[in-house]
Amino acid sequence: MLKQEVLDALNKQIKLEGDSSQLYLAMASWAECQGFEGTSNFLYSHADEERTHMLKLIKFVNERGGKAFVPQIEEPAQNFDSLKDVFSAILKHEIFVSESINEIVFLTLEHKDFPTHNFLQWFVSEQIEEERLARTVLDKLEMIGSDKGGLYLFDRDIVSLDVAGAE
């Protein structure tokens, strides 16, 4: 059985994962409307991934005898100045998500909730990968600058970057 403090933190994380999915979805829509088809596909895929994270948490909470709370999702930003702006926002957001997960991990140790601690290790590893991927993309965009040819190639190749990051 989950302690109330751990349950509350997990339900807060469920909301954060849902908000993350919406953020990626809004970014994907923006990128698509700007003609960045590769980037939009990359971001649509990540929106789905964040939703999967939310569902993973919901199922875990319910399996452990808690009640997952499905919250109202916040409306994310809809407009961005550039791809670099998008991925800077992603990195900032993923660092925030990592900090939230780390706080829950600490809480599970305080409550000696080792099953939840063990479950959260997947999220810890996932966040390391999410931050690494965002930093890699930002490094590439920094090299490209505002070169239209470079942005075209980046947009074409971002899918392979994502696949390489997932391995």
Q: Residue 40 pLDDT more than 50?
A: yes
* 66-119 tens-digit pLDDT: 999 998 988 999 999 999 999 999 999 999 999 999 999 999 999 999 999 999
**Pairwise CA distance, residues 142 & 93, whole Å:** 19
Q: Is 117 annotated as a binding residue?
A: no
**Which residue segments constitute the domains of the chain, with CATH numbers given?**
4-166 (1.20.1260.10)
Are 13 and 101 in contact by the 8 Å Cβ rule? The answer is: yes
**Pairwise CA distance, residues 131 & 113, whole Å:** 27
Q: Is 72 annotated as a binding residue?
A: no
* 118-140 tens-digit pLDDT: 999 999 999 999 999 999 999 99
Q: Is 5 annotated as a binding residue?
A: no
Phi, psi of 99 (to 5 degrees): -60, -40
Give pTM, 2 decimals: 0.92
Q: Is 129 annotated as a binding residue?
A: no
Q: Is 4 annotated as a binding residue?
A: no
| Cα–chain center distance at 115 | 23
**Pairwise CA distance, residues 39 & 102, whole Å:** 29
